[in-house]
Amino acid sequence: MRLYPAIDLKDGKCVRLVQGDYNAVTVFGDTPSEMAKRWEKEGGSYIHLVDLDGAKEGRSINEAAIKSIIEAVGIPVELGGGIRTLSQIEEKLALGVNRIILGSVAVRDKALVKEAINRFGSDKIVVGVDAKEGRVAIEGWLEVTDISAVDFCLELKKLGVKTIIYTDIAKDGMMQGPNVEETKRLVEATGLRIVASGGVATLADLQAVEEAGVEGAIIGKALYLGAIDLKEAVGLFEKQQLEGGKYNAQ
């Protein structure tokens, strides 16, 4: 299981939200690139980066911070938040982002998802599926649709999507454990590579999602509060793929 230390960007700073609430924000650092270097030093092999301002505004906002992170570390970075056109995808990949996370746009514009995968490949395009009580949420979690998360993932699979980042909004930032049952249901019902996100607070939580069959797990607030030691977690759960001494992101 791959572990993804998370960095959420708001106003150029490293922050965490509670249940996606932009009014419930805690700042954990003024220099996101230094945070990224810390996670790399502690054994992180892939940075999960979210432009929170971008998710809300529908366009990239924190480009300077994103660029500084990419330049600061030697491990791959995935990015989500406000990326809604093929040209934006192309720009971010050219900037050095290893893979793009499509969110709200994937619900509204499946043709774009298909075209993005055809043009850039399924290893470069993943979809973030955020859900509340099994229903898909969009627009920075501000709107919950009547679309079932499982049904939506099955539709995405037909478009060529291979990896889903699944976040349970009710669990995110709460430090109360992930929604293992729903995550496992998604793994079994879709056969897709599922990355679990939201609520991971302990090593036992990581054990539970690993047993659910996920490809990876995103760790956010637990790292920033010191509840999980990344170095220890990497040693327990991640099987590094090394090629010539360098991490193989593919």
Name the nearest CA neighbour of 125 among 84, 181, 180, 154.
84
144: which strand partners? Answer: 137
Task: Calculate helix-pair angle for 149-158, 110-120, nearest 10 degrees.
Answer: 40
- Report the half-sphere exposure of 161 (CA within 13 A, side-chain side): 30
Coil/strand/helix, residue 139: coil
68 is written with which tokens?
A: 């500084």
The residues annotated as belonging to the active site are 8, 130
Name the nearest CA neighbour of 100 among 250, 108, 117.
117
d(CA 186, CA 172): 17
> DSSP labels for 42-70?
TT---EEEEEHHHHHHTS---HHHHHHHH
The pair phi, psi for residue 196, each rounded to 5°, is -80, 135
Name the nearest CA neighbour of 220 among 237, 236, 241, 200.
200
